Amino acid sequence: MALYVYKFGGTSVGTVERIKAVAEKVKKAHEMGNQIVVVVSAMSGETNRLIGLAKEMQAQPIERELDVLISTGEQVTMALLSMALHEIGCNACSYTGGQVKILTDSSYTKARIRQIDDARIHTDLAQGKVVVVAGFQGIDEHDNITTLGRGGSDTTAVALAAALKADECLIFTDVDGVYTTDPRVEPRARRLDRITFEEMLEMASLGSKVLQIRSVEFAGKYNVALRVLSSFTEGCGTLITYEESPMESALISGIAFNRDEAKLTITGVPDLPGVAFTILGPIANANIEVDMIIQNIAEDATTDFTFTVHRNDYQRAKSILEQTCADLGARKVTGDDAIVKVSIVGVGMRSHAGIASTMFKTLATEGINIRMISTSEIKISVVVDEKYLELAVRALHAAFKLDQASTSV
Ligand code: ADP
Ligand code: ASP
Ligand code: MG
């Protein structure tokens, strides 16, 4: 007998009809003799609607109360799915994160799972029930409701699969797997049969929202067999694997992009020891995450310093930097919040030269100016103007022949 964790995202449970269809799918798997735990998201649009309500009440909603509010979306779906299962003769029981219990730290809106009590779930499974669990939420040691960050139901599913030692965690969504890039931007994107865990981690962290990054981290840490597939069509989806296949010679596996970027520059900074800390210390103290950082070679004893932040933090970071600029006697602060980051990802990059130059040549041919570059062992990221996002993704997709099964440049 196999134990599977199934996770259904917002669009997969977006209407009563969809929830009924999910119930049928779950019942079928259960009747084949499997034990099934189902993790559900809020019905599509619901989390955004709840956040909107909170913002009508408070411009910056108190995070504890925001979590109480937004965790209700998943509670609605779990009850409806359990009802739908009963209705078709499948015994089920639904639980909130707190009821399970999924213990988290107290970082409201971005809590981390610390421990999962699997006793209740195992008892229900042993009694032949399907267990339905609300995704995206947990409870801290003082019984406060917490949420796991946007897209957090993926992490609930993988964490449960790890705790229950499930045979596989299946993430059902509105695409039939992980693609070479977001098919909404490049319709010629191709589904990958498999992707290495390492590549998936990079793709998720560089903006591919098909899986929440923490779910991929969790899967890697606890060796959870993870698959992404469609809730609408049949198929085997994409398997996240832990080994590189020697058969696959892909140099680049995928292209990720992130629209949530903004950049800030401070010029004419005295080139002295400790300057990077003086600039970035106050930004870190304000709990603003910095991504790329560039410091120019100093000329005339001054230097320029550029870094990127999440677009939501742009205004706050800018005013902090303006204060630092005055304190340091630097020249000026400039910024741009109409930029995006486009990245190519692939383990094949390790053993092949010339990938960066192909990337830069492709962008140059399209007349796209690169504003920042950063590289690591298996990725190259560039910052470009927002208006070039689609063009850059499509041009790179074609240049690296990602629409073809075997890629070579
Ligand atoms: P769910 O509500 O099921 O969690 P999400 O909207 O969070 O679904 O994730 C699925 C979406 O991720 C797809 O509709 C697709 O537009 C987007 N996406 C981004 N990058 C990729 C990629 N590389 N492969 C597949 N989908 C991607
Ligand atoms: N409902 C939450 C969100 O929209 C969590 C999830 O769907 O994974 O972000
Ligand atoms: Mg999601």
Each residue's pLDDT tens digit, 308-367: 999 989 999 999 999 999 999 999 999 999 999 999 999 888 888 889 999 999 999 999
| Beta bridge mates, 270 | 302
Q: Which ligand is nearest to the CA of 237?
A: 1
pLDDT at residue number 407: 41
- Computed over every residue of the chain, the mean pLDDT equals 94
The answer to whether 142 and 98 are in contact (CB under 8 A) is: no
* Residue 248 scores a pLDDT above 60: no
d(CA 45, CA 62): 21
**Pocket mutation for ligand 2, best pick of 7, 44, 47 (most atoms within 8 Å of C-beta):** 47
152 Cα to the center of ligand 2, angstroms: 6
Percent of the chain with pLDDT over 70: 97
Protein residues whose CB sits closer than 6 Å to any atom of ligand 2:
9-10, 41-42, 47, 73, 135-136, 150-154
3-class secondary structure, 182: coil
pLDDT at residue number 408: 40
Protein residues whose CB sits closer than 6 Å to any atom of ligand 1:
9-12, 41, 151, 173-175, 178-179, 181-182, 184, 208-210, 254
SS3 content of the chain, % helix, strand, coil (to 5): 40, 30, 35
User: Phi/psi at 108 (nearest 5 deg)?
Assistant: -55, 145
Q: How much is the pTM? A: 0.92
Q: In three state form, how does the secondary structure of 36-50 look?
A: EEEEECCCCCHHHHH
| Residue partners of 281: CB distance under 8 A and separation at least 6 | none
* Residue 250 scores a pLDDT above 90: no
d(CA 270, CA 64): 42
pLDDT at residue number 297: 81
d(CA 164, CA 120): 11
d(CA 26, CA 84): 11
Q: How confident is the model at residue 409 (pLDDT cuts 50, 70, 90)?
A: very low
Q: Which ligand is nearest to the CA of 174?
A: 1
Domain spans in the chain, listed from the N-terminal domain onward? 3-174, 255-399
Q: Using CA positions, which residue lies closest to atom 5 of ligand 1?
A: 210
255-399: which CATH architecture? 2-Layer Sandwich (3.30)
Highest mean pLDDT among 14-23, 283-292, 371-380: 14-23
The answer to whether 265 and 306 are in contact (CB under 8 A) is: yes
Topology alike, domains 3-174 and 255-399: no
Nearest-atom number in ligand 1 for the CA of 203 is: 23
> Poorest-confidence range of 9-23, 42-56, 282-296, 385-399?
282-296
In this structure, what DSSP letter does residue 296 have? P
Q: Tell me the per-residue pLDDT of 90-144, one tens digit each, with 9 for 90 and over.
A: 999 999 999 999 999 999 999 999 999 999 999 999 999 999 999 999 999 999 9
Placement of tokens 């094949």 in the chain: 348
Q: What angle do CA 377, 383, 389 make, to 5 degrees?
A: 110
d(CA 210, CA 254): 13
133 Cα distance to chain centroid: 20
pLDDT at residue number 406: 57
User: Phi/psi at 358 (nearest 5 deg)?
Assistant: -60, -40
283 Cα to the center of ligand 2, angstroms: 28
pLDDT at residue number 244: 64
369 Cα to the center of ligand 2, angstroms: 35
Locate 357 and state its tokens. 């130059």
3-174: which CATH architecture? 3-Layer(aba) Sandwich (3.40)
d(CA 143, CA 338): 41
pLDDT at residue number 249: 59
Instruction: Convert 143-152 to b/e letters by CB count within 10 Å (16 or more is b).
Output: ebbbbbeebb
Per-residue pLDDT, averaged over 48-65, amounts to 96
For residue 73, the surrounding DSSP H or E stretch is: helix 72-87
pLDDT at residue number 260: 93
74 Cα to the center of ligand 2, angstroms: 8
Which amino acid would we find at residue 127?
Q
* Residue 262 scores a pLDDT above 60: yes
